[in-house]
Amino acid sequence: MVAYSNFIKRLYLSLQLMELDFINNVNEFDESVVRLYNFNREEAILFRNLIQIVIIENTTRLDLSSIPFIENRNCNLILGLFKTDEGILSSDHKTFYCALTKEAYINMISLLDPFCIKDRKGYQYLYDIDNPIDFLFSPAGSW
């Protein structure tokens, strides 16, 4: 993790900042999103690699507030392994926890791959769980 952190710091000056925010009640079903947006291919690759190395390989939590190329707008997200797929949870709508199984994070990697091949304009929900808070990955921030 230390070597990867140093690599990220070296790249930091050449990257734009991804942004992370929470949007409450995005539709008539009282659903909400934690949105990771404003990025290009390079940042998508770094984010995908962080999930692969930190969560899947090292089985540790990934606190997005500690990532220099991610700007937390109105919330923080901590990704970690859990025994079951619960999705994103929060008690205060400020600190969010993404509780997924290793298999769900491996699937998330495959959902991120198209954004790592070339710059894209689309968006992707990063899990498919019956949960009132979705995890949206969107280069332009729209969906």
Residue 3 — very low, low, confident or very high, per pLDDT cuts 50/70/90? low
What pTM, to 2 d.p., does this model score?
0.87
Structure-block tokens of residue 89: 């949870």
Task: Provide the sign of the torsion angle of the four alpha carbons 92, 87, 66, 23, taken in this order.
Answer: negative
Residue 30 Cα distances to 23, 24, 46, 132, 133, angstroms: 11, 8, 32, 7, 9
CA atoms of 41 and 91, how far apart (whole Å): 33
Q: What is the pLDDT of residue 117?
A: 94
**Tens digits of residue pLDDT in 25-66:** 888 888 999 999 999 999 999 999 999 999 999 999 999 999
Cβ atoms of 142 and 123 within 8 Å: the answer is yes
pLDDT on residue 15: 64
- More confident position, 8 or 121: 121
Average pLDDT, integer, range 84-97? 97
pLDDT > 60? residue 71: yes
Res. 82 pLDDT band, cuts 50 70 90: very high
pLDDT at 26: 85
Overall average pLDDT of the 59-85 stretch: 97
Q: Could you give the CA distance from residue 28 to residue 103 in angstroms, rounded to a whole number?
A: 31
Residues 6-16 have pLDDT tens digits of 555 555 555 67
